[in-house]
């Protein structure tokens, strides 16, 4: 297991749609994704953020707080089956855009279907921070980052400010 480098926006791999996972062996990749996420103090990490253009992500929304207990989760080929109409705004950070919080409006709750690491298919409802985290990571699988939720001058300004910090 090892910590891998996290790609930083505007790396082109963060703007590309990822390929579905078929029958690849993912154990080493998943272990590395958790190592990388925890080492970076993150709550979610999508495969393209380490340059693997496949549709999976890891998350653990509660490990920093300690309560409830840490809850590592892997979602392979995730699909949002239903989303609540109510949108809620929240500031989102991203390990690929370090130091930047972007306000993003998203459905408050979602129903998600995914394949687990063991290969079985699950479906469950999520809300609150978990719903936001899942939608954020799923965006990565479709080549979207938080900046893509902004527009016009607000977006230009946020992108330009970030580019200044990574020069």
Nearest distance in Å: CB 152, Ni ion = 22
* Contact status, residue 20 vs residue 56, Cβ threshold 8 Å: no
Sequence-ordered strand ranges (E) for the chain: 44-46, 56-59, 73-83, 87-92, 102-107, 109-115, 121-127
Nearest distance in Å: CB 135, Ni ion = 11
Nearest distance in Å: CB 150, Ni ion = 14
Q: Where are the alpha helices (DSSP H) in the chain?
A: 27-39, 128-141, 152-166
Pick the stretch among 69-77, 80-88, 93-101, 111-119 that binds Ni ion (CB under 5 A): 93-101
Residue 58: phi, psi to the nearest 5?
-115, 155
Of 33, 37, 73, 94, the one binding Ni ion by CB under 5 A? 94
Nearest distance in Å: CB 17, Ni ion = 15
For position 30 contacting Ni ion by CB under 5 A, the verdict is no
Pick the stretch among 13-21, 28-36, 63-71, 88-96 that binds Ni ion (CB under 5 A): 88-96
- The residue sitting closest to Ni ion, measured at its beta carbon, is 94
Catalytic, out of 137, 153, 159, 161: 137
What own/partner pairs with CB < 8 Å and gap ≥ 24 does 62-69 have? 63/38
Can 137 be counted among the known catalytic residues? yes
Using the minimum distance from each CB to Ni ion, give the nearer residue, 26 or 94: 94
Of 96, 111, 108, 122, the closest CA to residue 42 belongs to 96
Using the minimum distance from each CB to Ni ion, give the nearer residue, 59 or 94: 94
Footprint on this chain of Ni ion (rule: CB under 5 A): 94
């Amino acid at each position: 297991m090892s910590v891998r480098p996290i790609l930083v926006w505007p790396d082109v791999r963060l703007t590309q749609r990822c390929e579905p996972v078929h029958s690849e062996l993912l154990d080493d990749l998943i272990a590395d994704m958790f190592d990388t996420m925890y080492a970076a103090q993150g709550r979610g990490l999508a495969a393209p953020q380490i340059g693997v253009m496949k549709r999976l992500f890891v998350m653990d929304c509660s490990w920093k707080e300690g309560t409830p207990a840490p809850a590592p989760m892997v979602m392979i080929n995730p699909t949002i089956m239903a989303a609540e109409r109510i949108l809620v705004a929240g500031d989102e950070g991203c390990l690929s855009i370090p130091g930047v919080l972007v306000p993003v409006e998203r459905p408050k709750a979602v129903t998600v279907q995914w394949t687990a690491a063991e290969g079985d298919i699950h479906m469950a409802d999520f809300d609150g921070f978990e719903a936001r985290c899942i939608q954020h990571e799923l965006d990565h699988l479709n080549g979207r980052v938080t900046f893509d939720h902004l527009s016009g001058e607000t977006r230009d300004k946020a992108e330009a400010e970030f580019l200044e910090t990574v020069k």
